[in-house]
Amino acid sequence: MGKVHALWTLDGLHQLDEATVLQALADKQPRVRATAIRLCENFLKSETRGHVLAKLMEMTAEREPFVQQQLALTLGEAADPEADLAMAKLLQQAPDTEFMVDAVVSGLFGREASLLENLVNDGASNDQLVATLARCVFTSRRKADIEKLITWMASSKKSSALLDGVAATSLRKPVKLAGEPAELKQILDKRAARLASLLVWPGKPGVKTEQPLAPLTKQQQGRYDLGKVLFTGVCAACHQMHGRGLDGVAPPLMDSEWVLGSEQRMVRIILHGLTGPVSVRGKTYRLDMPAFGSFSDEQISAVLTYIRREWEHGAAPVEPGTVKVIRATTADRHEAWVQDQLRAIP
Ligand code: HEC
């Protein structure tokens, strides 16, 4: 399955042959184009892969935002350097769209820095694109990649473009590095202060040392590991591995007040689903989350332990016993929760 959930399309559409799908890529209706793009993922493992990919890469002039978003995700699914470049081109068309940055970070998932490295080494590459990809690398919060980025900022032909990217980056909280990057002092530019404001490290002047988190017990760590597997297989299709959600598909889990808040509410969301307007980090979503009541108590506690500790979260793990009790007390419930009902539960 692709990275955007299968509910977007009817199962029957999967039976469509390649010629029909490729033809639909040029359809007048954006929804049809987006669906056709996603269906192309079915052919990326077949021997006609090259042909399908070529057709997708011809679509970088697409203007409709949600079609661009699907194109970025599908090109990312191909995991191919040329497709990555096509995705970069697409990003260049919509460089200021926050959700395209998210879609590209989802699509590239881990390949942002290597794509950027190619562009940094190629003096002729477009500065705006370099800046936007630098923003993607920061947005991914991957520490090793951010450290590489700082090295390129200190000494590369593209350092000014990279610093522009940093100036346009806004993070909800700074990225925690293990120590002060040595190259930071070599960046003699007024944008360096902005860069430093996006980072913290132990001993950084003006930064309070945090209480270290209580480590997970061996059993809780086992649940976290299982939770990661479940999250990857089930939840990431909508919420994305990076936890920042996807426009029109699912809200963010990273820094979500729901994820970090009451475990009573969290367990209920997983058991029965969630519908209607829900406010997450100050933004309202009007979507539907399916129920996962078929998960065992152990599985629910695992996936919740994972999302409460991933993405630098520090919320308490959830025990299977808690899930068991809530499952029993809500046994009569068959419909999804709405946020006001959940808010009434402590
Ligand atoms: C089919 C897509 C989809 C899948 C799969 C999915 N969710 Fe959701 N999730 C949503 C949507 C959509 C909402 C918002 C619902 C609304 O608007 O009322 C949501 C809301 C949430 C929320 C509360 C809001 C927030 O952003 O914090 C949490 C927590 C959550 N999901 C966790 C999970 C976990 C854990 C899994 C995996 C077991 C999962 N979801 C699987 C689509 C999905």
List, for residues 106-128, the tens digit of each pLDDT value: 778 788 898 899 888 887 778 88
CB-based contacts of 331, cutoff 8 Å, min separation 6 = none
Distance 206 CA to ligand 1 centre (A): 37
- How far are the Cα atoms of 91, 120, 127, 138, 162 from residue 148, in angstroms, in the given order? 22, 11, 18, 11, 12
Determine the atom of ligand 1 nearest the C-alpha atom of 249.
12
Q: Which of 240, 270, 289 to mutate to test the pocket of ligand 1 (most atoms within 8 A of CB)?
A: 289
- Round to whole Å and give the CA distance between 115 and 82: 10
Q: Does pLDDT of 1 surpass 70?
A: no
Token pair 């998932």 is at which residue? 109
Write the residue with the smallest CA distance to atom 33 of ligand 1.
235
CB-based contacts of 330, cutoff 8 Å, min separation 6 = 268, 271, 272
* Residue 211 CB neighbour total at 10 angstroms: 7
Q: Is the CB of 301 under 6 A from ligand 1?
A: no
Q: What is the mean pLDDT of residues 269-298?
A: 95
Q: Is the CB of 22 under 6 A from ligand 1?
A: no
Q: Which of 239, 283, 310 to mutate to test the pocket of ligand 1 (most atoms within 8 A of CB)?
A: 239
- Round to whole Å and give the CA distance between 297 and 324: 6
Count Cα atoms within 13 angstroms, Cβ side, for 113. Answer: 17
Distance 11 CA to ligand 1 centre (A): 22
Distance 266 CA to ligand 1 centre (A): 10
Residues 4-18: tens digit of each pLDDT? 433 344 445 556 788
Q: Does pLDDT of 224 surpass 90?
A: yes
- Round to whole Å and give the CA distance between 78 and 84: 9
pLDDT given at position 168: 85
Which of 312, 326, 302, 340 lies closest to 140 in space, CA to CA? 312
- Round to whole Å and give the CA distance between 334 and 273: 9
Distance 312 CA to ligand 1 centre (A): 19
Q: Which amino acid is at 314?
A: G
CB-based contacts of 297, cutoff 8 Å, min separation 6 = 320, 321, 323, 324, 327
Mean pLDDT of the residues in the chain: 88
Q: Does pLDDT of 307 surpass 50?
A: yes
Distance 28 CA to ligand 1 centre (A): 31
pLDDT given at position 327: 97
Q: Does pLDDT of 184 surpass 70?
A: yes
Instruction: Return the minimum-mean-pLDDT range out of 96-100, 132-136, 228-232, 252-256.
Output: 96-100
Q: Is the CB of 238 under 6 A from ligand 1?
A: yes
Write the residue with the smallest CA distance to atom 38 of ligand 1.
235
CB 8 within 8 A of CB 38: yes
pLDDT given at position 14: 55
- How far are the Cα atoms of 19, 58, 125, 135 from residue 83, in angstroms, in the given order? 21, 10, 16, 20
Residues of the chain with pLDDT > 70, as a percent, come to: 93
Q: Is the CB of 307 under 6 A from ligand 1?
A: yes
Which of 331, 340, 172, 345 lies closest to 266 in space, CA to CA? 345
